[in-house]
A and B are shown apart, each in its own frame.
Chain A
Amino acid sequence: MITIEELKKPIKAALYNVGLLLVTLSAAFLISSLLVGRDFGEIFWFFFRSSVGSVDSVLRMLMRTTPILVATLGLIVAFRSGVWNIGGEGQIVIGVIVTTGICLFLPLPPVVAVLLSFITSFLTSGVYAAMAGFLKARWDVNEIAVTMMQTFIAIALLQYLIDAPWNWGEGLYPRTAKIPVGTRLPFLLYPLNSTFLIGMALAVGTYILLKRTVFGYELQVMRSNRVAALSHGIDTTRLTVLSMLLSGGLCGLAGTGLVLGEYFRAQAGISGNYGFYAIAAALMANNKASRAPFAALLIAFLSQGTLGLIALGVPQRLGEVIIGAVFIVILVPRVMKKWRGG
C-alpha cells in the first residue's frame, strides 16, 4: 500500500519543478515582452496555444519529441558510462545520410530498404561514435573535442551531398528528392508518425538494457570508478567502445526516423539541433532512461512553444535561452548532488 506520506515527496518535488519552470518562463516572457513591445499575456497565450493549444499542435509536439527522445536515450547510454558523447547531432546526420542513400539509390523492395536503413544507420553512426570511444579508452584523447569535431564534419558532408551529387532536379533547394512512397513509414494520426512508437519502444529497450542487464551494471560501475571496474575484471576499453557504439547507433536511428517518418528526404537543417537538445534532455533526466521521455517532451514543449512566438516578433532563439536557463536554474543543482566526487 502506498500511503499519503509516501506520495508527498514526489508530488512536492514535481510541484517545485513546475513552479520553477513557470517562474523561468515568466521571466523569459517578461523580458521578451519588454524587448519586442508585446503584451505579456499575449506572449503567454501564444506560447501555450502553439504547444498544447490544439490537437494538431500536441501531435506536432509529440512528433518533435521523437528524435529528441531517441537521441537522448543514445546520449544517456554514453553519459552513464562516464563518456561525454556530445556528437549526437553529427550521429543523427550520419543516420540521415545513410537512410536517404539506401532508400533513394538501392533498388530494393521497400520493406527491405526500410529494415536495411535502420540496421545500417545504427551501425554507421555507431562506428562513427565508437571511434571517439576508442580514442578515449585507448589513448585518453578527450571525447568532447573529438565528437564535436565529428559533428562539424558530418554536417559538412550532408551539406555537400545535398548541394551537389544528391541534388537531382531540386535546383537551388539544398535537398534530395523524396524517397519512394513505399519506404515512408505510416502516420498514426497526421502529423504524428509511427516513428513515435518506435521511439517509445526504444525507451523501454534502453531502460531494460541499463537496468536489468550485466552490461548496464558494468557501465554504471565504470562511471563511478574506472580503477574499481578494472579490478573487477571489466574490460574498460571494450566497454567504452561498446557504449559509444550503442550511443551513436541510437542517435543514428533518430536520423533514420527523421527521414522515414517526417521529411522523406535529406535536407539542410534536418537534424534541427535535436542532438544538442538531447544533451540537455539527458542531463535533465539525470541519465535515467525512464525519465528520458519526460525530458524530451519538456524540451519539445519549450521549442514548440517558442515557435509560436515568432508571429509576435519574438526571436525563435528564445527557445535556446529558456532551455539553457531552465537547465541551470532547476536541474543542475538537483542532478549534481548525487554526482559529487564522481
Chain B
Amino acid sequence: MMWDAISSILSFFPVIGLAALGGFTSQKSGVWNIAIEGIMTYGAFAGVFAYHYFGNSIGIALLFGFLSSLIFGVLLSLLCVHQGLDQIVVGFGLWFLSEGLAGFLYLAVLPSVTVTETLDPKILSLDPLFYVTIASFTILYVILKHTKQGLAIRSVGENPRAADTVGINVYRTRWICTTVGAGLMGLAGSYLALVILQGFTYNLVAGYGWAAFALVLFGRWTVPGTLLSSLVFTLLIGLQTRLQVAGILVVPSEFMVVTPHIAVVVALALAGALGKKSGMPAALGRFYQKE
C-alpha cells in the first residue's frame, strides 16, 4: 500500500530526470541548451505520432521520440559549437521552432490518439524507463569519473584550450554531448505523453522543461546533485498532488502546477545566497575558436 503510493509518485521521475540529464550532459560539455521545454514538447508529439503510425508500440514510440529529437541537438551544435553563434539566442530560436512544430504538426497530421498500451514489464510496479533513467545517471557518472571520454567532456566544459592541446577534439566532444542531450529531452517528452498522459495535448509539458533547466543549476553541475534535485522535485510534485487530493493541503487549483516552480525559485535563490561555489563549468556558453 505504502509502496504503491511511492511508486506512483516515482513513475513521474523519468520525465524530470531525463530532461535534467539531457540539460546536464549538454551543459557539462560547455553548451547551454535552453530549448528543453520545446524539445520535450516536440518529443511528446513525435512519440504519440510514432505510436499511432508505427504499430502501437510504446517501445518503438519512445525510441522514435529519442532519435528524432537528436535533430535539435545537431542544429544547436552546427550553429553554436561550430559557427560560434550565441547559444542562448539560438536556444530561443530552437525553443520556438520545436514547440511550434509540435503544435502545428499535431493539428495537421495527428488524429486524436489515446495510448492504450502500457510500458511493461513492471518491476516493483515501476516501468522499465524508470530503471533506464536511474541507469543513465549511473552510467554518466561512471563515464565522467572514470573514463577517458568523461575526462574529455569535463575538460572541454572547463578549459577547451587545454583540452585541445592534449589532443581532445573539442568540437566532436561538444557535438556528441549536445546531440545526446537533446535526444534525452525528447525522450522525456515522449514518456510524458505516452506513459503518463496517454496522449498529446498542446501545453502538456507545463513548465517542467524549464524546471529541469533550473534543476541542473541547482544540482551544481554534478551527477549526484542533478539526480537528487530531480528526485526531490518529483517527490514534491507527487506529494503535493496527493496531499491536495486528501484535502490536507489546500492550494487553489491554479497554483497546483506552479508550487514546485515556486520551490525551485526559492531554492535557487537560497542556494545563491548561501554562497557556495556554483560549480558551473568555466567554459559554459563560450565558443571555442581554434587557433
In angstroms, Cα B213 to Cα A274, docked, is 22
B100 touches A321 (CB 8 A): yes
Q: Binding site of B, secondary structure by majority: helix, strand, loop or mixed?
A: helix
A280 touches B96 (CB 8 A): yes
A36 touches B108 (CB 8 A): yes
A145 touches B103 (CB 8 A): no
The answer to whether B109 has its CB under 8 Å from any CB of chain A is: yes
Question: Which A residue sits closest to B85, measured CB to CB?
Answer: A336
Closest-CB distance, A341 to chain B (whole angstroms): 7
What 1/0 flags go to A61-98 for Cβ under 8 Å of B? Answer: 00000000000000000000000101000000000000
Q: Which segment, of B47-55, B242-250, B252-260, faces chain A?
A: B252-260
The answer to whether B231 has its CB under 8 Å from any CB of chain A is: no
Closest-CB distance, A303 to chain B (whole angstroms): 11
The answer to whether A200 has its CB under 8 Å from any CB of chain B is: no
What 1/0 flags go to B14-49 for Cβ under 8 Å of A? Answer: 000000000000000000001000000000000000
A149 touches B103 (CB 8 A): no
Question: Which A residue sits closest to B278, measured CB to CB?
Answer: A140
Given contacts A160-B252, A320-B103, contact A332 B93 (CB under 8 A): yes
In angstroms, Cα B92 to Cα A145, docked, is 13
Which residues of the other chain, A, contact B90 by a CB distance below 8 angstroms?
328, 332
B213 touches A160 (CB 8 A): no
In angstroms, Cα B121 to Cα A213, docked, is 66
A323 touches B210 (CB 8 A): no
Name the interface residues of B242-284: CB closer than 8 Å to any CB of A: 252, 254-255, 257-258, 261-262, 264-265, 268-269, 271-273, 275, 278
Which residues of the other chain, B, contact A283 by a CB distance below 8 angstroms?
89, 92
Which residues of the other chain, A, contact B108 by a CB distance below 8 angstroms?
32, 35-36, 314-315
Partner of A145, one of B96, B213, B258, B273: B213
Given contacts A149-B264, A321-B100, contact A328 B93 (CB under 8 A): yes
Q: Which segment, of A102-110, A150-158, A190-198, A251-259, faces chain B?
A: A150-158
Question: Which A residue sits closest to B32, measured CB to CB?
Answer: A144
Closest-CB distance, B264 to chain A (whole angstroms): 6
Partner of B104, one of A139, A145, A279, A320: A320
Name the interface residues of A275-304: CB closer than 8 Å to any CB of B: 276, 279-280, 283
Which residues of the other chain, B, contact A315 by a CB distance below 8 angstroms?
103-104, 106-108
The answer to whether A20 has its CB under 8 Å from any CB of chain B is: no
In angstroms, Cα B96 to Cα A280, docked, is 9
The answer to whether A327 has its CB under 8 Å from any CB of chain B is: yes
What 1/0 flags go to A314-332 for Cβ under 8 Å of B? Answer: 1101111111110110001
Closest-CB distance, B288 to chain A (whole angstroms): 11
The answer to whether A142 has its CB under 8 Å from any CB of chain B is: yes
In angstroms, Cα B213 to Cα A144, docked, is 9
Closest-CB distance, B101 to chain A (whole angstroms): 6
The answer to whether A212 has its CB under 8 Å from any CB of chain B is: no
What 1/0 flags go to B180-206 for Cβ under 8 Å of A? Answer: 000000000000000000000010000
Interface residues on A, range: 35 or more
In angstroms, Cα B182 to Cα A231, docked, is 40
What 1/0 flags go to B87-101 for Cβ under 8 Å of A? Answer: 011101111111111
A139 touches B272 (CB 8 A): yes
Which residues of the other chain, A, contact B214 by a CB distance below 8 angstroms?
142, 145, 148-149
Which residues of the other chain, B, contact A324 by a CB distance below 8 angstroms?
93-98, 100-101
What 1/0 flags go to A30-59 for Cβ under 8 Å of B? Answer: 001001100000000000000000000000
A145 touches B88 (CB 8 A): no
Name the interface residues of A211-270: CB closer than 8 Å to any CB of B: none
Given contacts A283-B89, A315-B103, A340-B84, contact A145 B97 (CB under 8 A): no
Which residues of the other chain, B, contact A317 by a CB distance below 8 angstroms?
100, 102-104, 106-107, 202
The answer to whether B287 has its CB under 8 Å from any CB of chain A is: yes
Closest-CB distance, B105 to chain A (whole angstroms): 8
B97 touches A328 (CB 8 A): yes
The answer to whether A10 has its CB under 8 Å from any CB of chain B is: no
In angstroms, Cα B104 to Cα A318, docked, is 6
A135 touches B269 (CB 8 A): yes
Closest-CB distance, B37 to chain A (whole angstroms): 9
The answer to whether A164 has its CB under 8 Å from any CB of chain B is: yes
B79 touches A332 (CB 8 A): yes
A149 touches B265 (CB 8 A): yes
The answer to whether A112 has its CB under 8 Å from any CB of chain B is: no
In angstroms, Cα B108 to Cα A286, docked, is 33
What 1/0 flags go to A133-146 for Cβ under 8 Å of B? Answer: 00100111110111
Which residues of the other chain, B, contact A150 by a CB distance below 8 angstroms?
265
In angstroms, Cα B89 to Cα A19, docked, is 22
The answer to whether A333 has its CB under 8 Å from any CB of chain B is: yes
Which residues of the other chain, A, contact B275 by a CB distance below 8 angstroms?
139
Question: Which B residue sits closest to A339, measured CB to CB?
Answer: B86
A-B contact pairs, 21 of them (CB 8 A): A32-B108, A35-B105, A35-B109, A135-B269, A138-B272, A144-B34, A145-B210, A146-B268, A149-B210, A317-B202, A320-B99, A321-B96, A323-B100, A324-B96, A327-B97, A328-B90, A333-B83, A335-B89, A336-B85, A340-B287, A341-B289
